[in-house]
Every structure is written in structure tokens, then in C-alpha cells.
Amino acid sequence: MHFPRPTRPRRAAAQLAVMALVAAGSGLAAAAAPASAATCANIDVVVARGTFEPGTLGTIVGDPVYAALQSALAGKSTSSYPVNYPASLDVFSNPNSATRGNTDLVNHVTSQATACPSQRFILVGYSQGANVVDNSIGISSDGALVGGPISETIPSSIQPRIAAILLFGNPIRAQGKSVTGIYASRTDDFCASGDPVCQSGGLNVGAHLGYGSDASAAAAFAAALVGCPLARWPQAREGAAPTRRRALTPRWRACGCAGRRRRPRRPRRRGRRLPGARRAGTTPRAS
């Protein structure tokens, strides 16, 4: 029988310290209240907060990231949805905290996609919330800190409408895992140096609480992808590279789209030829 290797005591202590600090800041943490059905905004930002993180979207990551997205996506309407799950240390019940969040996220995106056929989504996950997002896109967080097994995944018909995925302090990274496949080019996964939750051997507890400073960078990444036309998203099987006929512009390359770049036309050189001048490859006319 195979037993998982025990976590090193120092790293485990650092992880528990992170949870304790977040819990202390939140007081008596409760599950986020379910949001009412959002109107059909251009972009729906779905946020899974971290363990015991206070606030509806989350004061450490969710709130600053959503504010930065509203600024970066000026000209487009946005709505937000806080994933309704305990965000607790409940890892032993079935389903546990992360798996319950997984179910709620997929149910929300599926119902919104039906109600709003043109709406696109940005998924945001912090700490345990990153586990929730990982599970929802088919990357299991089972075995990671405050992780759990996959309950549901976003339907393939909706996958092209996931414009961007923003992850912070993602616990699966401490296991050497990351987002792969069709979502890889749409994912920005932040892991601060020394963060014990996402970096194996990390001991800097404060690093896990400072991701609000990455909000602007994350929003800029997502805004660039929102500009990618929906019909251009690659529909290839998981792990397959999109087809490229010519080199792509930076914007198309960031989108992961199979578009082609138009080469700029060279301006014609106009001017009178000097007497006796001739074009290359021609023979002089006999006089």
C-alpha cells in the first residue's frame, strides 16, 4: 500500500501560520453569500476566495483584482460572482470545502453561459480558491493543501468563453503541478518567492498575504486576452498546439489564437532615374 510522504514539519508549521493569520483578520469567517443572478455584462468575473479570507470577493485578492479589472476593461461592462463555498479547513467531509466550491463555480458559469450567450468569463482563485478553479478546469487539487477531488468541470462548449484565468498562491504548485492543456495560454499563475502554500520548501508566511500588489499585472494580462476574438480560440484537443500559418503579432500570440499577421506594405520609392541608369537584370538598349 502506498502512503503519501509526510509534509516537512517546518513547512507544515508555515502553512498553518498562513491560515491562522488569514483567520485572525477575518474574525468569525462565514461562507460568502450567494450573489443574485448577474445581468448579461460583457465579462463576468468569478472569484473563489482563499481559506477564511474576509470579504465577499476577498479583501486580500478578490477585491483589488476586480477593481483593477474594471479599470483595465474600461469600455466593457463587468459583473462579479463570489463562489459560494465554506473556504474552510474542512478537508475530511465528502464533499469537502474545495470540492463544494468546484461544484458551485461550474454551476454558476454553466447557468450564466445559457442565460447570456455572448458573455465571457474571467476566473480568479486565491489559495484554496485556486484549488477550486483548478478542479473546475480539470486539474485535480486532490492531495494539495486544502485541496479536494474534482466534482465537475466546465463543459467543452463553454471553454472558448473562458477569457482568462488568474491564480494566486496556488497549492498544486507545491506538488510540482500547474495548469496545462487548452487553458495554459490563458492562465497567469502567481506564486511569490518563499510562499509556503505554493512553493515547496517556502517559509515566508507574509509572502502568501501580499498578492494584492499583483492585481494590476493580472488585470493587464486578462485585458489583453479579452481582446482576442471568440471565434479564434483554438478548438484543438487538449495539449495540441494551435495551428499557425505565419508568425503572429504579440497580441495574437498572447491570445493563443490561430490568426495571421498582415505584413505592412513597403512604401514605393518614387523618383526620376538618372540618365543611363537601368534596372537590374536588363540589357542596355542599343542606340
Q: What is the pLDDT of residues 201-226, one digit of tens each?
A: 999 999 999 999 999 999 999 999 99
Q: Is residue 114 part of a domain?
A: yes
- Report the distance separating Cα 84 and Cα 89, nearest Å: 15
Q: Which range of residues forms the domain containing residue 89?
A: 9-231
Question: E strand or H helix at 10, and its extent?
Answer: helix 9-26
Domain assignment of residue 253, yes or no: no
Specify the range with the lowest mean pLDDT, choosing from 124-138, 193-207, 240-254: 240-254
Looking at residue 243, its pLDDT comes to: 35
Q: Degrees (nearest 5) of the Cα angle 62, 195, 20? A: 70
Neighbours of 141 (CB within 10 A): 27
Q: What is the pLDDT of residue 57?
A: 97
Q: Which residue matches cell numbers 442565460?
A: 115
Lowest mean pLDDT among 52-56, 102-106, 252-256: 252-256
User: For residue 32, what pLDDT band results from cuts at 50, 70 and 90?
Assistant: very low
Domain-embedded: residue 267: no
Cell triple for 276: 543611363
Q: Is the pLDDT of residue 170 over 70?
A: yes
User: Considering the domain boundaries, does residue 249 fall inside one?
Assistant: no
pLDDT interval class at 245 (50, 70, 90): very low
pLDDT above 50 for 37? no
Cβ-Cβ contacts under 8 Å for 267 (sequence gap 6 or more): none
Catalytic residue among 79, 88, 127, 151: 127
Count of the separate structural domains present in the chain:
1
**pLDDT (0 to 100) of residue 58:** 97
pLDDT band at 186 (very low <50, low <70, confident <90, very high): very high
Determine whether 127 is an active site residue: yes
81: in domain = yes
**Residue 40 is assigned to a structural domain of this protein:** yes
Is pLDDT larger for residue 52 or for residue 247? 52
φ, ψ dihedrals at 201, nearest 5°: 90, 0
Q: How far apart are CA 118 and CA 83, in angstroms?
A: 21
pLDDT band at 90 (very low <50, low <70, confident <90, very high): confident
Indicate which CATH number applies to the domain containing 184.
Answer: 3.40.50.1820
Bond before 95 cis per omega within 30 degrees: yes
Which of 87-96, 127-136, 228-237, 272-281 is most confident?
127-136
What number is the average pLDDT over the span 20-37?
A: 44
Q: Which residues are registered as beta bridge partners of 44? A: 79, 121
Helix (H) or strand (E) holding 21: helix 9-26
Q: Is 44 among the residues known to form the active site?
A: no
**Residue 158 pLDDT > 50:** yes
Distance CA(172)–CA(222), nearest Å, equals: 22
Q: Name every residue whose Cβ is closer than 8 Å to that of residue 275 and which is 6 or more positions away in sequence.
A: none
Q: Which three cell numbers stand for residue 164?
A: 482568462
Q: What is the pLDDT of residue 1?
A: 45
Q: Which of 44, 63, 188, 195 is catalytic?
A: 195
Annotated catalytic residue, options 88, 108, 141, 208: 208
108 noted as active-site residue: no
Whole-number pLDDT of residue 282? 55
- Classify residue 282: in a domain, yes or no: no
Residue range 170-197: mean pLDDT, rounded:
97
Q: 98 in a domain, yes or no?
A: yes
Q: How far apart are CA 278 and CA 129, in angstroms?
A: 71
CA distances, 59 to each of 19, 50, 208, 248 (Å) = 15, 10, 13, 38
Mean pLDDT, residues 56-68: 97
Q: What is the pTM of this model?
A: 0.74
